[in-house]
């Protein structure tokens, strides 16, 4: 019988951690996205006109929500797990009868909950700027959960390999942020020249944002089945990789 009390303890600890420091974890996304909606949606968006057959504000809402989910799920796990490594309190888990899959589930679970919590806050803010459409609610919930899981896993791997605080800021700043901004949050890739449109199709975040947008507006630049297969495929690969590294003790044991 697995030690489920340990998993419950770890999840509780992770969720309580980000709730305790809510001005650092929940508030910044609310402020940033309010500014996005105000500047890009209201001020500039009015001049941009329609995008994909919708008001520009309506068009960017799903992408902005998912952007918050991605960055928060990732940063929650990378900062929490790396801090545990740095302060060496991860040893509390390593010496206890807590298997690797449970450590992974506990940290990733914390990241998913924060990602979704921030997503809901940002969705609430967006509702004050525009009327939200919910064309395919189950798709919204599915992409919400899968994307949060995927980036929480990515954050865990980043923390596992990190040896310094620099290492946990390089990937978010120089890889994640460009991919998110170039992933069709603010535009449809149909606006791009053919070459860049094809290049954009190599960006996995594009598929997540479009699948999410499909849930809200019923439109997407890419096929939904393909988007879901890509998201689930990445989750499976990252999860197996993380479990293998935990079993070996990479980044944790000498």
Partner 1 sequence: MRIHQADWVLYFTDTYPDNPIRMKALCLRQLRKVYKNGFEALKGIDLEVQEGDFFALLGPNGAGKSTTIGIVSSLVNKTSGEVSVFGYDLDRQLGAVKRSIGLVPQEVNFSQFDSALEIVVHQAGYYGVRRKHALRRAEECLEALGLWDKRFQPSRQLSGGMKRRLMIARALAHAPRLLILDEPTAGVDIEIRRSMWEYLRRLNREGTTIILTTHYLEEAESLCRNIAIIDHGTIVEHSDMGSLLAKMDTQSFILELRRPVENLPSLSGYRLTPIDERTIAVDVPADLGIHGLFEILTLHGVEVVSLRNASNRLEQFFMKLVDAGRAERTS
Residue 250 binding partner 1, by CB under 8 A: no
Instruction: Show the site string, 49-88: x = touches partner 1 by CB under 8 A, - = not.
Output: ----------------------------------xx--xx
CB of 100 to partner 1, least distance (A): 11
CB 97 within 8 A of CB 6: yes
CB of 113 to partner 1, least distance (A): 17
Listing DSSP states for the chain in one string gives ---HHHHHHHHHHHHHHHHHTHHHHTHHHHHHHHHHIIIIIIIIHHHH-EETTEEHHHHHHHHHHHHHHHHHHHHHHHHHHHHHHHTTTTHHHHTTT--HHHHHHHHHHHHHHHHHHHHHHHHHHHHHHSPPP-S-HHHHHHHHHHHHHHHHHHHHHHHHH--STTHHHHHIIIIIHHHHHTTTSSS-GGGS-HHHHHHHTT-HHHHHHHHHHHHHHS--SS-HHHHHHHHHHHHHHHHHHHHHHHHHTTTT--
Residue 91 binding partner 1, by CB under 8 A: yes
- Residue 34 or 105 having the CB closest to partner 1: 105
**Whole-angstrom distance, CA of residue 241 vs CA of residue 105:** 14
Please identify which residue in 27, 35, 39, 96 interacts with partner 1, judged by CB under 8 A.
Answer: 96
Please identify which residue in 9, 130, 177, 203 interacts with partner 1, judged by CB under 8 A.
Answer: 9
Residue 247 binding partner 1, by CB under 8 A: no
CB 58 within 8 A of CB 50: no
Please identify which residue in 13, 124, 134, 240 interacts with partner 1, judged by CB under 8 A.
Answer: 13
Residue 173 binding partner 1, by CB under 8 A: no
- Residue 10 or 230 having the CB closest to partner 1: 10
- Residue 20 or 47 having the CB closest to partner 1: 20
- Residue 84 or 158 having the CB closest to partner 1: 84
In angstroms, what CA-CA distances link 139 with 50, 120, 127, 213?
24, 15, 19, 9
For the beta carbon of residue 210, count every other beta carbon within 10 angstroms. 26
CB of 85 to partner 1, least distance (A): 11
- Residue 33 or 79 having the CB closest to partner 1: 79
Please identify which residue in 10, 113, 117, 150 interacts with partner 1, judged by CB under 8 A.
Answer: 10
- Residue 173 or 254 having the CB closest to partner 1: 254
Instruction: Show the site string, 14-53: x = touches partner 1 by CB under 8 A, - = not.
Output: ---x------------------------------------
Q: Note the residues at the interface with partner 1 (CB under 8 A).
A: 3, 5-6, 8-10, 12-13, 17, 83-84, 87-89, 91-98, 249, 253-254
């Amino acid at each position: 019988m697995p030690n489920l009390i340990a998993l419950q303890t770890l999840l509780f600890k992770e969720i309580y951690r980000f709730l305790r420091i809510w001005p650092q974890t929940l508030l910044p996304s609310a402020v940033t996205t309010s500014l996005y909606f105000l500047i890009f949606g209201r001020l500039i968006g009015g001049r941009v006109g329609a995008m994909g057959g919708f008001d520009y504000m309506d068009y960017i809402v799903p992408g902005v929500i998912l952007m918050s989910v991605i960055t928060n799920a990732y940063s929650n796990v990378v900062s929490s797990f790396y801090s545990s490594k740095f302060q060496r309190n991860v040893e509390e888990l390593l010496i206890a009868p807590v298997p690797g899959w449970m450590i992974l589930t506990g940290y990733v679970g914390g990241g998913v909950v924060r990602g979704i919590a921030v997503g809901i806050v940002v969705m609430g803010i967006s509702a004050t700027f525009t009327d939200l459409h919910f064309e395919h609610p189950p798709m919204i919930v599915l992409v919400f959960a899968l994307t949060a899981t995927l980036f929480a896993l990515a954050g865990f791997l980043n923390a596992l390999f990190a040896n310094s605080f620099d290492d946990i800021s390089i990937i978010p700043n120089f890889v994640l942020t460009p991919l998110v901004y170039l992933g069709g949050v603010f535009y449809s890739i149909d606006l791009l020249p053919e070459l860049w449109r094809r290049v954009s199709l190599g960006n996995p975040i594009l598929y997540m944002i479009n699948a999410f947008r499909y849930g809200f507006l019923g439109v997407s630049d890419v096929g939904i089945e393909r988007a879901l297969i890509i998201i689930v495929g990445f989750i499976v690969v990252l999860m197996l990789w993380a479990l293998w590294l935990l079993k070996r003790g990479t980044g944790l044991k000498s």
